[in-house]
Amino acid sequence: MYQHRAITEDLYWIGGNDRRLALFENVYPIPRGVSYNAYLLMDEQTVLLDTVDKSVSEVFLENLEHLLGQRQLDYIIINHMEPDHCAALGQVLRRYPDATVVCTQKALAMIGQFFGNQPVPRSRVVKEGETLSTGRHTLTFLTAPMVHWPEVMATYDSADQVLFSADAFGTFGALSGNLFADEVNFETQWLEDARRYYTNIVGKYGAPVQALLKKAAGLDIRMLCPLHGPIWRENISWFLDKYMQWSSYTPEEPAVLIACGSVYGHTEDAAFLLASRLAERGVRNIQMYDVSVTHPSVLVAEAFRCSHLVFACATYNAGIFPCMETLLLELKAHGLKNRTIGLLENGSWAAAAGCQICSLLESMQNMTVLEPVIHLKSALTEAQLPQLDALADAIVASM
């Protein structure tokens, strides 16, 4: 049976959902799966906006052929050439060889790279601000390089005020019948996946995202159609504000993330005592994680959310505990900045983690390390409790 959904009187969702995939991009756990969104505009001329991943290409092609019926496909707009959105392009072109591919110059080159230099029969390379009229609709193309690949663009339909935003405004998670964000409780059911998707997939590219947000601010947008996750048609400004915070590396809320790398539990014990002292001082938003069992993508997302980060870390092989080092390198790779840091290190005979963590933080922008830095020798002592209180006071004072 066909699985397409009507969005407007002449715009259809023809994507698919993958609930079997364990790792997105073979890196990020997606326990709720992922959707691959593609859109078909049935105007005087027909327009396909992006394709899908090969895992859902069969249902996508069935949807496309059913809706087109006896009509031909006139245009294929490629907003993003990543394989989870372009894998079915070759099959579409074989079925509809007269269709014109509309994309950026870099995307056209990538088509050759992904499809073995097989020439596209018909193509139109577009630049910033160029338009395409399909009848009732006029589509305007907005380049969005490095959101999060260099060939990316977005497409704006001025007739219905729809922005087809490529990977921007997407989220992990398969769709379960509810196509629109206003059909679910997005803040409680989807926001964590949206944050983890943005921070890990796009998070490094804050400046390009800001450039796209500036372009979007000049448009009358009544609907956001991303390539992953629900479509937005209500309360769009709320989600745009989230993107503004994330892309400017502004903490989403005053909160404390405590990331703990402990071998035998002594470092974790000290971290928990610090968390308890923060709670006693009225801090309600505290999240404590063991870096050995929590996937780095979750911790990256939490670090973007929280204003304060505490790293409680054992020394291991004269260096940073391996899982903690992975987290810190991930935070650096994703461009995190503008955070306040608490630091607690443990070393039974030669503490080294603390100075190496500080060195990593110094290579990042605007990361403020609070005093005191707490140095444990195997376990926290009674005499060090005042230091723990002092660090808790410093965190609260800086919030």
CA atoms 263, 266, 269, 270: torsion sign:
negative
C-beta atoms surrounding 386 within 10 Å: 10
Q: How far apart are the first and last CA of the chain?
A: 54
Q: Are strands 306-316 and 339-346 parallel, antiparallel or unpaired?
A: parallel
| Angstrom distance (rounded) from CA 334 to CA 235 | 28
Q: What is the pLDDT of residues 77-119, one digit of tens each?
A: 999 999 999 999 999 999 999 999 999 999 999 999 999 876 7
Smallest CA-to-CA distance from 40 within 162, 151, 201 is with 162
pLDDT > 80? residue 125: yes
Using alpha carbons only, what angle is made at residue 390 by residues 389 and 396, rounded to the nearest 5 degrees? 90
Contact of 227 with 80, CB cutoff 8 Å: yes
pLDDT tier for residue 120 given thresholds of 50, 70 and 90: confident
Q: What is the pLDDT of residues 330-354, one digit of tens each?
A: 999 999 999 999 999 999 888 899 9
Average pLDDT, the chain: 96
Q: What is the pLDDT of residues 360-370, one digit of tens each?
A: 999 999 999 99
C-beta atoms surrounding 213 within 10 Å: 17
**pLDDT for position 117:** 72
Position 54: which residue type? K
**pLDDT for position 350:** 87
Counting residues of the chain whose pLDDT is more than 90, the rounded percentage is 96
Counting residues of the chain whose pLDDT is more than 70, the rounded percentage is 99
Q: What is the pLDDT of residues 135-173, one digit of tens each?
A: 999 999 999 999 999 999 999 999 999 999 999 999 999
Integer Rg of the chain from CA: 24
**pLDDT for position 62:** 96
Contact of 157 with 134, CB cutoff 8 Å: no
Structure tokens given for 309: 């980060």
**pLDDT for position 1:** 59
Q: What is the pLDDT of residues 249-300, one digit of tens each?
A: 999 999 999 999 999 999 999 999 999 999 999 999 999 999 999 999 999 9
- Give pTM, 2 decimals: 0.95
Q: What is the pLDDT of residues 192-225, one digit of tens each?
A: 999 999 999 999 999 999 999 999 999 999 999 9
Contact of 93 with 63, CB cutoff 8 Å: no
Which structural domains are found in the chain, ordered by start? 5-247 (3.60.15.10), 256-398 (3.40.50.360)
Structure tokens given for 357: 């963590």
Contact of 393 with 281, CB cutoff 8 Å: yes
